[in-house]
Amino acid sequence: MLNCTHLLYNRFINLTTNIIYNILEVTVNKEGKIMNVSVNIENVTKEYRIYRNNKERLKDVLLPFHENKTFYALNDLSLTAYEGDVIGLVGINGSGKSTLSNMIGGSLSPTSGVIKREGDVSVIAINAGLNGQLSGVENIEFKMLCMGFTRKEIKKLTPDIIEFSELGEFIYQPVKKYSSGMRAKLGFSINITTNPDILVIDEALSVGDQTFAQKCLDKIFEYKKQGKTIFFVSHNMKQVRDFCTKIAWIEAGKLKKFGELDDVLPEYEKFLNGFKKRSKVEQKQFRNELDDSRFVMK
């Protein structure tokens, strides 16, 4: 009887402990500081039905259990980001990095799985949310209204955004006349000035002059010191190494490896160097093999 009671007591303690940890969703870093979960991605999949003509599309709508070619942009991907994490999303072109970053930002919904975010999210990508028919100033107001800011808040922040963008008189010109570098400057300035809790940067530093890129990096480093969560998509391995604390290596829509920078990045760089040494024919064959593995009939 005593053993039975003791066993029940231990099970109760274990169950209670698990519940508490699930509620708090925290971890402890190397310095012993408690880190709260900011983004939790659970078994996320993104599928796209592929139609060659309207006849195939119509069959898919009308016929129950109709099988059609389906492409997995992401396939059963899970990872957890904590406050203060700067996660580099790496992988060759077409691996699913931008799909994941758009999902974290909320502009794209998963086919299945769940993404939980704790705090405001801001996505910085070339042309993200910009209207080519509007001027730079009008885009600032339009985009910030979409982000939930009041007109009073927008009026207060606009001078800081214009100053950070370095666009000068071009801020009053239609965005359709902007170069890719100018659009990147405007988009970055809007998102970086709004002080988000979670920042997603998708190749936004790959265009424009190096002086502005360094200015942006300095601002991002400020956010890093403040303990904000940052997802950083880039093919610039120097920026990734200098800036990130963790790496998520995505290949063919799946999470190939996720962990600390020094554990994952050297392995990815070794793969990347080997890939670049291949001939164009071999590179294309490798990509085609990866793509073929992402198509299914369902």
Q: How far apart are CA 49 and CA 71, in angstroms?
A: 6
Task: Write down the pLDDT at residue 127.
Answer: 59
Question: CB-hemisphere CA count at 13 Å for 1?
Answer: 0
**Which pLDDT does position 33 carry in this prediction?**
57
Helix (H) or strand (E) holding 73: strand 69-82
pLDDT tens digit sequence for 72-106 = 999 999 999 999 999 999 999 999 999 999 999 98
Q: What percent of the chain has pLDDT over 70?
A: 86
Distance, in Å, from the CA atom of 81 to the CA atom of 265, rounded to the nearest integer, reads 17
Average pLDDT over residues 8-24: 49
How many Cα atoms occupy the beta-carbon half-sphere of 255 within 13 Å?
Answer: 19
Rounded CA gap, 186 and 167, in Å? 8
CA–CA separation, 291 and 285 (whole Å): 10
pLDDT of residue 203: 75
Q: How far is CA 8 from the centre of its chain?
A: 44
pLDDT in tens, 173-202: 999 999 888 888 898 888 888 788 999 988
- Per-residue model confidence as pLDDT tens digits over 35-70: 789 999 999 999 999 998 998 888 888 888 888 899
Q: Please enumerate in sequence order all residues whose Cβ is within 8 A of that of 272, keeping only pairs 6 or more positions apart, or say none.
A: 92, 237
What is the radius of gyration, based on Cα positions, of the chain? 23
